[in-house]
Structure 1
Amino acid sequence: MSRIGKLPIKVPENVAVTCDGLNITVKGKFGTLENKLPEVLGVKENDGTLIVSVKNEARTTRALHGLYRSLINNMVIGVSEQFALTLNLQGVGYRAAVQGKCLTLNLGYSHPVKMDIPEEISVEVVQNTTINLKACNKESLGLFAANVRSWRPPEPYKGKGIIYQGEIIKRKAGKSGKK
Structure 2
Amino acid sequence: MSKIGRIGIKTRGICKILNNRNVVIKNKTFSIKKPFFFFKKKKKIFISVKEKYKKKKKIKIMWGTYRANIKNLVVGIYLGYKKKMIIEGTGYYIKKKNNVLMINAGYSHIVKYLLHKDIICNINNNVLKFTSYNKSLLGNVCNKIKKIFRKSPYKKKGIFFEKENFTPKNRKKK
Instruction: Give the TM bin, normalised by the shorter chain.
Output: 0.7 to 0.9
Task: Flag as ranges the 4+ runs of structure 1 deviating above 6 A.
Answer: none
In structure 2, what is the Cα distance between the partners aligned to 1:27 and 1:171? 46
List runs of 5+ in structure 1 lacking aligned partners.
Answer: none
Q: Percent identity?
A: 25
Matched, 1:22 2:21: yes
Q: TM-score, normalised by structure 2?
A: 0.86
Residue 10 of structure 2 is matched in structure 1 by 10
Equivalent pair of 1:96/1:105 in contact (CA under 8 Å): yes
Matched, 1:154 2:158: no
In structure 2, what is the Cα distance between the partners aligned to 1:141 and 1:33? 19
Secondary structure, counterpart of 1:150 in structure 2: helix
Matched, 1:137 2:137: no
CA RMSD of superposed structures (Å):
2.0
Q: TM-score, normalised by structure 1?
A: 0.84
Matched, 1:37 2:32: yes
Residue 117 of structure 2 is matched in structure 1 by 119
In structure 2, what is the Cα distance between the partners aligned to 1:170 and 1:45? 49
The alpha-carbon deviation at position 33 of structure 1 amounts to 4.7
The alpha-carbon deviation at position 173 of structure 1 amounts to 2.0
Number of residue equivalences:
171
In structure 1, what is the Cα distance between the partners aligned to 2:74 and 2:139? 17
The alpha-carbon deviation at position 88 of structure 1 amounts to 1.0
The alpha-carbon deviation at position 42 of structure 1 amounts to 2.1
